[in-house]
Amino acid sequence: MIRRPPWQAPCSGHHPLPGRGPTALRILLINPNTTASVTDLVAGHVRAIAGPGVTLVPATGRFGARYISSRAAAAIAGHAALDAFAEHGAGCDAVYLACFGDPDLAALREVSPVPVVGMADAACRAAHAGGRRFAIVTGGVLWGPMLTEFVAGLGLGDHLTGVRTVAPTGGEIAADPEAALGLLAAACSACVREDGAEAVILGGAALAGLAARIQPAVPAPVLCSVEAGTRAVLAAGAGGGGRTCEAPPLANHGLSPALAALLAGD
């Protein structure tokens, strides 16, 4: 039997938040790509972690890329995320942008009256906890520079030892995770042994649940980005709050009716 290292919590199972009572929490989960199976995969992990008392509202991008693996796809995904929030956000206590890379996270926070948590933002902050130097491993070569810039934007660039990518994209890994386990484990190990990382983020919605499977082969904590984001959004929803400033009404043209109304302040 493989024993789980003491640092590694399972990417499943209900772990109640300290101090949270029985009040129901309603979370909008936005997958801004157009692959419903990825939404279902992430939603299953979120429900397992959250347990009873949390209602999940899953929303898949209405338009855009099947999988986000380039800047162009990420730009379109930001629009899709705003569109999904406008359509499904009413009555939610928090929003989980369940895409590693957090397309248009700042824009969502600008329009949302409730807390918005990005998967990559939450995972990077969890990996850096205690001042650790951390690395990121994900699928798709174009994510390397994109994520390096993202981490720098968080102010954590000096703590990032590097981003290693494997050739299969997130979509290809989701289709055949078994084939990617060895590649992912090798990349995570190299982050620790060669780059000096003290923690490694396995990043990507489509990689949900794989961190625990490769952890025995990696000599440092491997964080599941889906789990890190889930725990952050549960805490944010329980804590309340939301935007600290509100954008002025925006005249617009050609948007979906829900998004047009949201931006116009109707």
**Domain-embedded: residue 16:** no
**Domain-embedded: residue 90:** yes
Q: Is the pLDDT of residue 243 over 60?
A: yes
What confidence score (pLDDT) does residue 245 get?
66
Q: For residue range 228-239, what is the model confidence (pLDDT) as tens digits?
A: 999 999 999 988
Q: Which residue range is the domain that position 193 belongs to? A: 121-225
CATH number of domain containing 139: 3.40.50.12500
Place of tokens 């990696």: 218
**Domain-embedded: residue 49:** yes
Number of domains in the chain: 2
**Domain-embedded: residue 151:** yes
Q: Is the pLDDT of residue 110 over 50?
A: yes
Exposed, middle or buried by CB within 10 Å (0-12, 13-18, 19+), for 240? exposed
Choose the weakest-confidence range: 10-14, 43-47, 139-143, 150-154.
10-14
Q: Are residues 125 and 114 in the same domain?
A: no
Q: Are residues 92 and 128 in the same domain?
A: no
Share of the chain above pLDDT 70, in %: 89
What confidence score (pLDDT) does residue 239 get?
84
Q: Roughly how many angstroms between the first and final C-alpha of the chain, as a whole number?
A: 58
Q: Which amino acid is at 61?
A: G
**Domain-embedded: residue 203:** yes
Q: Is the pLDDT of residue 42 over 60?
A: yes
Tell me the C-alpha distance between 50 and 191, whole Å.
30
